[in-house]
Structure 1
Amino acid sequence: MKQKRLCSTIILILILIFVVTSCGNGEALNEENLSSSFLSGEEISSYFPAKEGRYFKFSGIGNEFAAFNKEVKFKNDSLVQIHENNGGTEMAKVYKITDKKVIQLVEETEFYSEENLLSDIEENKQFEEVILQTPLEVGNSWVSGETRRKIIAIDKKIEVPAGEFSNVIKVKITPRDENRQFEIYEYYAKKVGLIRRESKGEGYRVISELESYGQNYDSSTSKKNKIQNKKIDKELTNATNVRLALLAYQLNHQVEATFQAAYESYINLDRLTDNRKDGFNLIIKLLEKNLEDITTKGEIEEQVKRLKEYHQNNEGELTFPTHEVVKNAKVIERSEDWAKVELKVMKHYPKREWNGEAYNSLVKYIINLSYEDEEWKLDKVIIE
């Protein structure tokens, strides 16, 4: 057993030496720079979710139609019909979502009916305009319809009234006709879709931002979907809400405890090893490994970034609570594969030489959960 452990240790050391040597022989490998230029393996549908009944409310400034609501009315395989209402008119838009592209096929203005346009799409199709396409990488550009589109960022962190979103794709849209002058910027977040749109030209600037979003179980008109919605509503009872609230608290508590363990390992790094660089890299790897079963990739990246920033800035010691009490917990929004939970937690911080007397702090969390690979994971945490 001791020989196996010794062999494993030697192998790990050799791997670390190889990595350090490789980086020293040329330009340093910077994972953050790599991740800021392309999104490897991401499906385009993740940035244009189209679940029937999903609704989005946008606030806006710049003109009276900047604010609007939209809702996914119908879905049939790769086709989706979305209705938008800006207070002046209601539009019906039809999109086709493939593995590589999101293509708009229809845009009907003054559309005030519940007619499903998907069944006769070949007859109803008006044009083909590519809204988004792979590869999801900076510099990818294409011409479609009357516009040119280009992905200019894939790692934006954007805050809108609905919350803060990371790894947001930013698309720049300009006219093909050189006699027309305008710029439109659209921002797409994973599992949500469009969260911000900014249009500007000579003498104007209009901004629309996502204010809220959720699932409407009364939007389906077919008998089959109504039955399915009743089944979902029955499953998502108050008892299930209690389960989701408890799950949100437990997962968030585990993430915080895992980060605390990594942080305290870092604080004691000089006492644990004489190779500070390799030791810190090992702490990062263990942090990622311990988080992968309870949270999503995006949240893991946030926790790793948090520790790296502390390592770079080397600012004072962090204080962690000795215990905490949940004051309030409620499920704000939910569907069968995602949920948003609000938690209010009173945390007790002990007396410390560097932070004075003991004190209590009430913290409000907005925790997003997602259902992936047949299990719930913590997707995103906002502290208010």
Structure 2
Amino acid sequence: MRQRKPLIFILLATLLFSGCVKNGTSSDKSTALNNSSSANGNKATSGKNTTQTAMADFFLPDGSKAHFEGEGNEFAELDIEVARLIENYVVIHENNGGSIVRYVYKIEEDTIQVLDNITVGTKKDVPSKEEMDAMKPIGIYLKMPFEKGVSFDKWTIIDIDATVETPYKKFEHAIVIEMKDKDFVNRKYLVEGYGEVKRESVMQVEGEEDFVVTSKLKLVDK
């Protein structure tokens, strides 16, 4: 069984780094809707003043491209393109070398909703405003208040002032969100003005070293 665990983890990590989608279809929307409907944010401590923080600042500007250095998995190396052609909507195309995943986000005052994430082959299309207006949330990407212990969907904020080393630069004041399961932990590191600068998946195997897969920001073209 121990020998099978790394293979299982590689599959789980691949799902994280490729957007957890099926070919040509969205993720399980009913499950995500149930998660988001119950994710109003748990009470927490050790917060900071976030009144001056805009949720839109957790994405790169329109037309930006970024490259992430990957370690531990062939799908951890990423290229992303950002489109912000319509107010309050962000479309990101993420290429992991095996597929291109299109994410659609809606920016609200204190929440970033996930509206869609599908594999799109090689076509990097952007939905029309009418199409995005008709989309229903399938999950929550990020939610205020930025306080340790606040939870949304399967994620929990575990740090609001982290230092993150990446090939691109050293970031301060990163927000770290975490998803935990029995045998693995997924983390995302988000920085105002950039959004995600690092992803990390860690599998704990009894009697062995942790198996780690990471994507770290290396290049940005704004």
Q: Same fold (TM over 0.5)?
A: yes
* Higher helix fraction (1 or 2): 1
Give the one of 169, 172, 194 matched to 1:166: 172
Distance 2:146 2:113 in 1: 15
Alpha carbons of 1:172 and 1:112: their partners in 2 closer, same or farther (altered >3 Å)?
same
Q: 1:266-312 CA distances to partner (integer Å, 9 max, x unpaired)?
A: xxxxxxxxxxxxxxxxxxxxxxxxxxxxxxxxxxxxxxxxxxxxxxx
Distance 1:115 1:46 in 2: 21
Alignment of 1:368-379 (within 5 A): none
Q: 1:129-188 CA distances to partner (integer Å, 9 max, x unpaired)?
A: 10110001111112x2xxx1111111111111110111111111235xxxx643111101
Does 2:213 align with 1:209? no
Does 2:122 align with 1:112? yes
Alpha carbons of 1:105 and 1:211: their partners in 2 closer, same or farther (altered >3 Å)?
same
Q: 1:51 deviation in Å?
A: 2.1
Distance 2:56 2:160 in 1: 13
Contact 1:46 1:193 in 2 (8 A): no
Contact 2:60 2:193 in 1 (8 A): no
Q: Percent identity?
A: 28
Q: 1:47 deviation in Å?
A: 4.5
Q: 1:117 deviation in Å?
A: 1.2
Higher relative contact order (CA 8 A, sep 6+): 2
Distance 1:44 1:140 in 2: 18
Alignment of 1:316-355 (within 5 A): none
**1:121 alignment partner, SS class:** helix
Q: 1:205 deviation in Å?
A: 1.9
Contact 1:54 1:72 in 2 (8 A): yes
In structure 2, the residue matched to 1:188 is 190
Give the one of 145, 153, 162 matched to 2:159: 153
Distance 1:168 1:192 in 2: 10
Distance 1:172 1:42 in 2: 24
Distance 1:102 1:213 in 2: 22
Query: What amino acid is aligned across from residue 117 of structure 1 in structure 2?
Result: P
Alpha carbons of 1:78 and 1:54: their partners in 2 closer, same or farther (altered >3 Å)?
same
Alpha carbons of 1:40 and 1:80: their partners in 2 closer, same or farther (altered >3 Å)?
closer
Contact 2:93 2:124 in 1 (8 A): no
* Residue segments in structure 1 that go unaligned for 5+ positions in a row: 1-35, 216-384
Alpha carbons of 1:166 and 1:43: their partners in 2 closer, same or farther (altered >3 Å)?
same
Larger Rg: 1
Query: What amino acid is aligned across from residue 184 of structure 1 in structure 2?
Result: N
In structure 2, the residue matched to 1:85 is 95
In structure 2, the residue matched to 1:95 is 105
CA RMSD of aligned residues (A): 2.2
Q: 1:323-377 CA distances to partner (integer Å, 9 max, x unpaired)?
A: xxxxxxxxxxxxxxxxxxxxxxxxxxxxxxxxxxxxxxxxxxxxxxxxxxxxxxx
**TM-score after normalising by structure 1:** 0.42
Alpha carbons of 1:111 and 1:76: their partners in 2 closer, same or farther (altered >3 Å)?
farther
**2:196 alignment partner, SS class:** strand
Give the one of 78, 81, 84 matched to 1:71: 81
How many residue pairs get matched?
172
Query: What amino acid is aligned across from residue 141 of structure 1 in structure 2?
Result: S
Give the one of 100, 121, 131 matched to 2:132: 121
In structure 2, the residue matched to 1:226 is none
Distance 1:122 1:63 in 2: 36
**1:75 alignment partner, SS class:** coil
Alpha carbons of 1:59 and 1:206: their partners in 2 closer, same or farther (altered >3 Å)?
same
Q: 1:96-129 CA distances to partner (integer Å, 9 max, x unpaired)?
A: 1111011111111133223221421245x36521
Distance 2:99 2:193 in 1: 27
Does 2:151 align with 1:141? yes
Contact 1:168 1:187 in 2 (8 A): yes
Q: 1:37 deviation in Å?
A: 3.3
**2:148 alignment partner, SS class:** coil
Q: 1:47-68 CA distances to partner (integer Å, 9 max, x unpaired)?
A: 5124210111100101101110
Distance 2:74 2:125 in 1: 27
**2:140 alignment partner, SS class:** strand
